[in-house]
Structure 1
């Protein structure tokens, strides 16, 4: 990569510590990512920062922000990842704009329940077949989890 390093770093707000974000001061894309033109092509500032600090980005990898700040160019806040790992990180941190892709319900890898079980919980409780504690024990969750389901605080996307 043929980049004028001095010109590049002059557009970065470099802080005294590696813990702080170093924000891009130049042009930005609508979602906040630094944008620059070099060698007749447009480049993302965080990718340039990563390459200047670490060398070329291997094929199949992207540069991810550990700080979740799109304008950050601090090399210690950048890491290699894949589109899949970046998407999983986005879901875990609930950063997605479209909440229909949120890691809710059965899409949450930590979930012990699925839509069928939630419907059964609501049905059995409404029919008076089991109380919240019995349902919790039967499904291997806590009573507060059952209460949240019954009050539609969780699993509200499941109707039936």
Structure 2
């Protein structure tokens, strides 16, 4: 597939892995890499910052150091390379796959304890600043998500069938769950979960 300038700009702005981009545009992974680092099509959209190249990297930590940039305002050290679907920086080195933030943490503070993951205090998944990373359990991470309101609550959730006012009405009602379910067009189990505060816990 022959690339045009619009394709090149899309490649520069999209941080998906090179393999995904190569498949989309019908080119080799090396072509994607050369466009992103400015080795090819450098004349197109020169105002878009090219990705950092890393040369003679001696270790995964060296890759992270060369391909991340400090934000003086937030203190985050943002990964400049490709991102996985969850938004974390990733790269390969000597045939092995690495997550940038985990490499940065282990280089500064040592191995991550078994069974734990890393939590970002800055809520920025591109950040590789080890001072913004703290080991924790999966439950700790879920609690962070709730406390910092990083996921959709109540009416904002794409599966929500009720409004917050309807949930409040259900909780205040003395009617049978079966009758309330028929009135609001939901399953009786959903009514039961609402009354027991197992669902819609963010709604008073």
Asked whether the two chains share a fold, i.e. TM above 0.5, the reply is: yes
Out of 61, 83, 86, the residue aligned to residue 5 of structure 1 is 61
Q: Which stretches in structure 1 are left out of the alignment for 5+ residues? A: 102-114, 125-153, 156-160
Structure 1: which 4+ aligned runs deviate by more than 6 Å? none
Of the three residues 114, 119, 128, the one matched with 1:64 is: 119
Say whether the 8 Å CA contact 2:61–2:103 is kept in structure 1: no
C-alpha change, 1:88 and 1:10, in structure 2 (3 Å) is: same
| Per-residue deviation, residues 31-83 of structure 1 (Å, max 9, x unmatched) | 32100112422111111111011001110110110111110001111110111
Separation (CA, whole Å) in 2 of partners of 1:57 and 1:120: 44
Write out per-residue CA displacement over residues 90-131 of structure 1, whole angstroms, 9 at most, x where no aligned residue: 112121258379xxxxxxxxxxxxx7x96363569xxxxxxx
CA RMSD of aligned residues (A): 3.1
Identify unmatched segments of 5+ residues in structure 2: 1-57, 160-166, 176-202
Preserved contact between residue 89 and residue 101 of structure 2 (Cα < 8 Å): yes
Query: Quick one: distance in 2 between partners of 1:93 and 1:120?
Result: 26
**Higher relative contact order structure (alpha carbons within 8 Å, sequence separation ≥ 6):** 1
CA–CA distance in structure 2, aligned partners of residues 52 and 120 of structure 1: 51
Partner of 1:81: 136
CA contact (8 A) 2:69 2:77 kept: yes
Q: Distance in 2 between matches of 1:51 and 1:97?
A: 32
Report how far residue 28 of structure 1 moved. Answer: 1.1
Distance 1:5 1:93, change over 3 A: closer
> Could you tell me which residue of structure 2 aligns to residue 92 of structure 1?
147
Match of 2:70, SS state, is coil
**What is the alpha-carbon distance in structure 1 between the residues aligned to residue 118 and residue 98 of structure 2?**
12
2:71–2:78 CA contact under 8 A, matched in 1:
no
May I ask how many residue pairs the two structures share in their alignment? 111
